[in-house]
Amino acid sequence: MNTFSKSSKHHKLYLLSTFWTLGLLFLGSIVHATGSSLACPDWPTCYGTMFPEMTGGIFWEHLHRLVAGGLVLLFIVATWVSWNAEKTRPAVRQWSCIGIFLLLVQSIFGGLTVILKLPDAISTTHLALAFLFLSLVTVLTAVTSPTRATGVLLTEQQLGRLSVVKKLGILSAILIFSQSVLGAVVRHTGTGLVCPDVPLCFGEWIPPLGTMPVVIHFSHRLLGIIVLISLLVLAYKSTKTIEDSTIRTLAFTAVGLGISQVILGFLSVYSLLAIIPVSLHTLIAALLLSSTVYLSTLSWQEEIED
């Protein structure tokens, strides 16, 4: 049955790091949405100090930096605890070290967004790296979890179905990641309001695709629908596995998140990119990625442990 380490201290630290990352992503999105990205003109200090007056845009930008610093420290502690607890699983140790490296690179990219005054490519890479780190910390949380998805030995047929769910989970996670990076392109190229109406675009289901801004914006809407379809298929297939499993719960949660995400996308346009809907849109994208990555990791564990 469960052969994972009994010590759950590092699991709790990874879990905390996952929630911390989600909070940090949300804050990062608020930094942009409130126009606070260049509120601190220098980096790593803000107006030459680590303790600036926390008012206006400085509040959001400097808070984002402080919370990012806290995540780096927390994740280093998680890796250190894991290093001692995971002597038999070197891959967990290695990936945790890669996580620290990723966070340091991400912090440098955060600094570059400020120093180079927000080039589109750097801002988009900053989001992509954040989502990559989120995926990694989610996998580490899942593989160090002391509980298994079902807690029972599975038959050959159930294992076959689980393999389908795993593949669909991975496909959905890849689609969500790509859609999120495309979303960042929409945001940073300023094409969020190119189609002024929702759900149609210029009154048509398929708008004239003559200009790049319309192509970028419309592709994001289209891929959003494809993501939703992949989540619906995943949830349907998960009902064919084991009753009441965590995998099933995660798959149905992802469908709920996917529907909310499309509604938030529409609200973002309808509200002319108001702070609340666009920031929640980033947060739900991150939750979607985390839940599908967790689901895929659990299904994969069931397969190899049975």
Residues binding ligand HEM (CB under 6 A): 21, 24-25, 28-29, 31-32, 37, 43, 61, 64-65, 68, 71, 103, 106-107, 110-111, 113-114, 118, 123, 126-127, 130, 133, 176, 179-180, 183-184, 186-187, 192, 198, 220-221, 224, 227-228, 258, 261-262, 265-266, 268-269, 273, 278, 281-282, 285, 288
Taking the complex as a whole, how short is the minimal distance between the CB of residue 190 and ligand HEM, in angstroms? 7
AA letter at 21: T
Taking the complex as a whole, how short is the minimal distance between the CB of residue 212 and ligand HEM, in angstroms? 16
Taking the complex as a whole, how short is the minimal distance between the CB of residue 59 and ligand HEM, in angstroms? 13
**Closer residue to ligand HEM in complex, CB, 127/298:** 127
Measured CA to CA, the distance from residue 180 to residue 282 in angstroms comes to 8
Which of these, 52, 248, 55, lies nearest to 158 by C-alpha position? 248
- What are all long-range contacts of 263-272, with beta carbons under 8 Å and residues at least 24 apart? 265/198, 265/220, 265/221, 265/224, 266/198, 266/199, 268/192, 269/192, 269/193, 269/195, 269/196, 269/197, 269/198, 270/198, 272/193
Measured CA to CA, the distance from residue 302 to residue 145 in angstroms comes to 12
**Closer residue to ligand HEM in complex, CB, 40/85:** 40
**Closer residue to ligand HEM in complex, CB, 110/207:** 110
Taking the complex as a whole, how short is the minimal distance between the CB of residue 298 and ligand HEM, in angstroms? 21
**Closer residue to ligand HEM in complex, CB, 68/247:** 68
**Alpha carbon 244 to its chain's center:** 25
Taking the complex as a whole, how short is the minimal distance between the CB of residue 247 and ligand HEM, in angstroms? 20
Taking the complex as a whole, how short is the minimal distance between the CB of residue 244 and ligand HEM, in angstroms? 26
**Closer residue to ligand HEM in complex, CB, 162/227:** 227
**Closer residue to ligand HEM in complex, CB, 5/37:** 37
Taking the complex as a whole, how short is the minimal distance between the CB of residue 15 and ligand HEM, in angstroms? 16
Six token digits for residue 59: 């509040």
Alpha helices in the chain (DSSP H): 9-33, 56-85, 90-115, 120-143, 156-188, 212-238, 246-270, 275-305
Alpha-carbon torsion (207, 199, 177, 115), positive or negative: positive
Report DSSP state, residue 147: S
Taking the complex as a whole, how short is the minimal distance between the CB of residue 129 and ligand HEM, in angstroms? 7
**Closer residue to ligand HEM in complex, CB, 245/282:** 282
**Count of residues making up the chain:** 306
Six token digits for residue 31: 């930094």
Measured CA to CA, the distance from residue 299 to residue 240 in angstroms comes to 13
**Closer residue to ligand HEM in complex, CB, 179/245:** 179
